Amino acid sequence: MFGLTFEKLILIAVIAAFIIGPTKLPLYATKLGQFVQQLRGYTQTAKDRVKQEMGPEFDDVEWKKLDPRQYDPRRIIRDALLEDSTPEAIKTASTKSPVAESAEPAARPE
């Protein structure tokens, strides 16, 4: 949230209370409350409009699957490189991690 912590918000509120003064503070607090209510109304209207435009299939979409934070670039590249391989090779490659491979001791030639 733009680097604003709860303590900073309280400090801003205290400074605003001193600047505005005790006579106008209730008026500005009321205006702030009305603005927040209006903003909530706008967002709800936007949500409703999006749902109406997208139709009933909008509710069936699994949004967790579309979250970009879940994608691992290493897995995507590995799957793309092993795409023409057999399914068994893909399964074994996806279960072995590069860290585990490097931790295994190398075979010594005798």
pLDDT tens-digit readout, 82-95 = 876 655 655 665 56
Name residues of the chain where pLDDT drops below 50.
Answer: 1
Q: Within a 10 A sphere around the Cβ of 17, how many other Cβ atoms?
A: 13
CA distance to 10, 32, 39, per residue, from 20 (Å):
15, 13, 23
- Cα angle value 82/88/94 (rounded, 5°): 55
pLDDT at 96: 57
Instruction: Fill in the amino acid letter for 105.
Output: P
